[in-house]
A and B are shown apart, each in its own frame.
Chain A
Amino acid sequence: MFGWEFPPHISGGLGTASYGLTKGLSSIEEIEVTFVVPKAYGDEDQSAIRLIGAGDISIIRKQIDIEGFRKKMDFLEVKSGIVPYVDPEDYWRLTEKEVSGEYRFVQVDDEGKIQFSGKYGTDLLTEIANYAVVSSVIAEETEFDLIHAHDWLAYPAGIAAKEASGKPLVIHVHATDFDRSGGKVNPDVYAIEKRGMDVADRIITVSNLTRNTVIEKYHIDPAKVITVYNAVEPVVEKESSWFRKGMDEKIVTFLGRITMQKGPEYFISAAHRVLQKMNNVRFVMAGSGDLMNKMISHAAALKIMDKFHFTGFLKGNDVFQMLHLSDVYIMPSVSEPFGISPLEAMQSNVPVIISRQSGVAEILTHAVKVDYWDINAMADAIYGILKYPALSKVFIKFGKQEVDDLKWENSALKVREVYRSAIGVN
């Protein structure tokens, strides 16, 4: 399995999803996973077995035993220049840099601090190609039946492994460049994605929304595209000392990158509507992104800044703290392949409002679903949840049940079906 990030270096939805899926797969007897990730320079575990691949690229192999996994897993780390948006919050910064031709990749360490790893002056696409070269070495030296590659940066690696071994390739589409770029699709990325999809024997998409994108925008045969929804890791109830709200006010929270894709301006407009009718409510936009400054001016222009707060990027425990304080969680995404965060909010007993343009809307029943542009409906839902206590009670009760039923084991079983059809076993 070619991935992008793996515990403990997990930050984005992609890492969470590939981790959850791998964990789910570990519970299936007949499947063994070797997980390959590119890894930043100087962060290797020295106790591990060292493999030298083509060129100057090292591969670290270790047997890891992760808590909650049913069995040990082979874990390969490829020493490589590519550590792409390890932290999704910073991806925008990276892409910004990309324009100026200077690449800087950012990594989050165990304590959650951001480290600039520095001198990756090489071309990103070359690095991806390097990853692919290594993967073909791995493919030749390892026993396996099937290749599974997560998202575009790992597709070339998957293709190379397929070419070296002749084994079937399954690619997993967590997002496409149409989602990430908000319409301004990068032709190089598109080409990589398209080639991955063309070569793949089976394509797993995280929602029907993404499935449609793959079929329509990449012109892929619908027969080989299968939707497998993500799930969510059960929360371990931490006995933390949450600080409490200092006042009897309701809090409505937006948590995520402040980028066009996430629809922050619709949230601000809805907040404006609600504030015209309600006083004891505050709105929080937690996260950072390229639209942050614009959003601050937008909120200021609407004269709601006394009730509208920007926290900047939250991580680790702060996220849970924020959820804990929230009375409503809102995800007004313009385009969201899946959207795991509302599930986490529901786990934290927070009622959620999600846009119909998100993959997660396809599986959730106990959430308010609105079109991202329908500010009136959004405002109405916020008002309703805050004003009519029965609503939030029912949401919390049913929402928790619903989200607890979304298990990675079930997703893994569906992935197994995809594997079987790719290999040609029934």
Chain B
Amino acid sequence: MRTICLYFQVHQPFRFRRYRFFDIGNDHYYYDDFSNESIINKVAEKCYLPANNILLDLIRKHGSRFKIAFSISGIAIDQFELYTPHVLKSFQKLAETGSVEFLAETNAHSLVALKDKNEFLKQVRTHEEKVEKYFGQKPRVFRNTELVYSDEMGAMVAEMGYKAMLTEGAKHVLGWKSPNYIYCNAINPKLKVLLKNFKLSDDIAFRFSNKSWNEWPLTAEKYTGWLNNIDRKEEVVNLFMDYETFGEHQWAETGIFEFLKAFPGSVLSNSDFSFSTPSEVVNKLQPVSAVHVPHPISWADEERDLTAWLGNELQEEAFNKLYDLSEKISKCKDETILKDWNYLQTSDHFYYMCTKFFSDGDVHAYFNPYESPYDAFINYMNVLSDFEIRVNAAVPQTGKDQEIANLTKLISDKEKLIEKYTAEIEKLKKLKTVSGKARSQPGTQKRKSPEKTPAAKASTKTRRKTGGGK
């Protein structure tokens, strides 16, 4: 059996508003609501809604013979919920058909896997919960942001219980090997690795409307012909692409929707290929060998590496400064801070700071709110500076000793309280034996105690803060 695995990435970042340095410490709202809302609406009209409708029709027409997979970033889900609930509904409709698999990724569409294992775990779990909540599936296959993958990340993902992971069939990794087989992780062979066939994927995603391409115009028949030319022993063709390919990267006028409509029928009737979801592929097929990826790869640009996000000093500085905060964040309970923390990590912010614009400018310019990488960096760092101030205010920031001292103080305070309450309980117990109606009192006492501790915390905090200022 030969099969095609179609997978679409859905993501839109929360773009920042123009955040000037004099906003630092004064204004804690970072987002450009207008552009976020208008962009998501625009993409919904041009891509998500029409493409979803086509896919739904195709599933109805071909039944279980046509299958697809999505990964919708947590941030995109948040935005759908906020701005375009009808888009979320249309994805849910697709989910109900049973022919659509939803994959797990990091909630924030972040590159946290490179930096912080615990935070990575947390983000993936959050995303899993979101997928379960909205689409009623527990994801079993993982795809990292921008298909970023390395041996170590694969092992980490296997440890979390995933069966498989998606990544790029990068030439420098595969060498003479074909991406059209299942591979396994080099450290933990239990994790299967699906590799993108970038030639066939990019024919649709990037070259479809390119009139100077010698294969233009691309038709479903021609494409099926290419699939038929693939060596009969090869088992799976992984076509991974941005969902925005349909209607947004390639406009409706290019005929991309017609291609999408015709493609499954053409494949099913003129070739021996079937369609499978990633889970089905890994259930059916056995890995042919391990794939060795010591250095992280991605699906971006010619180099298929991380340089689009972490290729220059600006990106590295911003990225490191951001994750310098992760320890403090792990102690933070403030909901708004945690939300901003999430949105700050979105990989797009680093993408905007990319200075490789000469070779890959077109893709990098897509919905980029900034005029230059320098602009993007300054804005991000201003936001991050404000965020840092808030984190420091919310979480104790002084030296370890100071912190231990504070904690000891807290513990001793609590012990005193416990002593006091035990005494009181004893007293009340005695009272109870006398009169059974004094039950409400211990309840009010208990409620008071957790209120007292944060109050005590807060007062120590302010004292420390003023001390640090000098």
* Complexed CA–CA distance, A369 and B316 (Å): 23
Q: Which residue on chain B has the smallest CB distance to residue A386?
A: B21
**Which single member of A366, A380, A393 contacts B20 (CB below 8 Å)?**
A380
Q: Which residue on chain B has the smallest CB distance to residue A376?
A: B20
B24 an interface residue at 8 Å Cβ cutoff? yes
A276 an interface residue at 8 Å Cβ cutoff? yes
A387 an interface residue at 8 Å Cβ cutoff? yes
* Complexed CA–CA distance, A393 and B313 (Å): 8
Q: Could you say which residues of chain A place their CB within 8 Å of the CB of B382?
A: 380, 383-384
A398 touches B355 (CB 8 A): yes
* Complexed CA–CA distance, A388 and B313 (Å): 11
B21 touches A383 (CB 8 A): yes
- Interface centre among B318, B374, B375, by most chain A C-beta atoms within 10 angstroms, is B374
A368 an interface residue at 8 Å Cβ cutoff? yes
Q: Which residue on chain A has the smallest CB distance to residue B385?
A: A387
B314 touches A390 (CB 8 A): yes
Q: In angstroms, how far is the closest chain A Cβ from the Cβ of B466?
A: 19
A381 touches B314 (CB 8 A): no
B381 touches A388 (CB 8 A): yes
Q: Which residue on chain B has the smallest CB distance to residue A389?
A: B317
Q: Could you say which residues of chain B place their CB within 8 Å of the CB of A384?
A: 21, 374, 377-378, 381-382
Mark each residue of chain B from 214 to 245: 1 if its CB lies under 8 Å from any CB of chain A, else 0.
Answer: 00000000000000000000000000000000
Mark each residue of chain B from 291 to 328: 1 if its CB lies under 8 Å from any CB of chain A, else 0.
Answer: 00000000000000000000011101110000000000
B176 an interface residue at 8 Å Cβ cutoff? no
A390 touches B371 (CB 8 A): no
B22 an interface residue at 8 Å Cβ cutoff? yes
Known A389-B317, A391-B314, A391-B374; judge A379-B381 contact (CB<8 A).
Answer: no
A391 touches B378 (CB 8 A): yes
A391 touches B21 (CB 8 A): no
A379 touches B22 (CB 8 A): yes
B21 touches A395 (CB 8 A): no
**Which single member of A365, A366, A387 contacts B381 (CB below 8 Å)?**
A387
Mark each residue of chain A from 261 to 294: 1 if its CB lies under 8 Å from any CB of chain B, else 0.
Answer: 0000000000001101100000000000000000
B22 touches A276 (CB 8 A): yes
Q: Could you say which residues of chain A place their CB within 8 Å of the CB of B385?
A: 387
Tally inter-chain residue pairs, CB-CB below 8 A: 60
A394 an interface residue at 8 Å Cβ cutoff? yes
Main secondary structure of the interface of B (DSSP, over half): helix
B374 touches A388 (CB 8 A): no
Mark each residue of chain B from 368 to 387: 1 if its CB lies under 8 Å from any CB of chain A, else 0.
Answer: 00011011011001100100
Main secondary structure of the interface of A (DSSP, over half): helix
- Interface centre among B20, B318, B377, by most chain A C-beta atoms within 10 angstroms, is B20
Q: In angstroms, how far is the closest chain A Cβ from the Cβ of B313?
A: 4
A277 touches B377 (CB 8 A): no
Q: Which residue on chain B has the smallest CB distance to residue A383?
A: B21
Q: In angstroms, how far is the closest chain A Cβ from the Cβ of B225?
A: 43
A394 touches B312 (CB 8 A): yes
**Which single member of A277, A368, A390 contacts B21 (CB below 8 Å)?**
A277
Kindly identify, within residues 79 to 137 of chain A, every residue whose CB is under 8 Å from any CB belonging to chain B: none
Kindly identify, within residues 360 to 387 of chain A, every residue whose CB is under 8 Å from any CB belonging to chain B: 365-366, 368-369, 376, 379-381, 383-384, 387
Mark each residue of chain A from 392 to 406: 1 if its CB lies under 8 Å from any CB of chain B, else 0.
Answer: 011100100000000
Q: In angstroms, how far is the closest chain A Cβ from the Cβ of B346?
A: 19
B381 touches A394 (CB 8 A): no
B22 touches A273 (CB 8 A): yes
A379 touches B316 (CB 8 A): no
* Complexed CA–CA distance, A216 and B313 (Å): 43
A380 touches B316 (CB 8 A): no
* Complexed CA–CA distance, A383 and B312 (Å): 20
B317 touches A277 (CB 8 A): no
A394 touches B314 (CB 8 A): yes
Mark each residue of chain A from 341 to 374: 1 if its CB lies under 8 Å from any CB of chain B, else 0.
Answer: 0000000000000000000000001101100000
* Complexed CA–CA distance, A277 and B382 (Å): 12
Q: Could you say which residues of chain B place their CB within 8 Å of the CB of A368?
A: 372, 374-375
* Complexed CA–CA distance, A394 and B375 (Å): 13
Q: In angstroms, how far is the closest chain B Cβ from the Cβ of A283?
A: 16
Q: Which residue on chain A has the smallest CB distance to residue B357?
A: A365
A381 touches B378 (CB 8 A): yes
Q: Which residue on chain A has the smallest CB distance to residue B384?
A: A388
Q: Could you say which residues of chain B place their CB within 8 Å of the CB of A395?
A: 374
* Complexed CA–CA distance, A84 and B27 (Å): 53
Kindly identify, within residues 6 to 22 of chain B, every residue whose CB is under 8 Å from any CB belonging to chain A: 20-22
Q: In angstroms, how far is the closest chain B Cβ from the Cβ of A104?
A: 45
Q: Could you say which residues of chain A place their CB within 8 Å of the CB of B21?
A: 274, 277, 379-380, 383-384, 387
Apart from A368-B375, A390-B313, what are 16 other A-B pairs with CB-CB below 8 Å?
Answer: A273-B22, A276-B22, A277-B21, A368-B372, A379-B20, A379-B21, A380-B21, A380-B378, A381-B374, A387-B21, A387-B381, A388-B381, A390-B318, A391-B378, A391-B381, A398-B355
A residues with a Cβ closer than 8 A to B are 273-274, 276-277, 365-366, 368-369, 376, 379-381, 383-384, 387-391, 393-395, 398
Could you name 30 residue pairs across A and B whose Cβ atoms are closer than 8 Å? A276-B22, A277-B21, A277-B24, A368-B372, A376-B20, A376-B22, A379-B21, A379-B22, A380-B378, A380-B382, A381-B374, A383-B382, A384-B21, A384-B382, A387-B21, A387-B381, A387-B385, A388-B378, A389-B317, A390-B317, A390-B318, A390-B377, A391-B314, A391-B374, A391-B378, A391-B381, A393-B313, A394-B312, A394-B355, A398-B355
Please name the 3 residue pairs, one residue from A and one from B, whose CB atoms are nearest each other, closest first. Answer: A384-B378, A390-B317, A383-B21
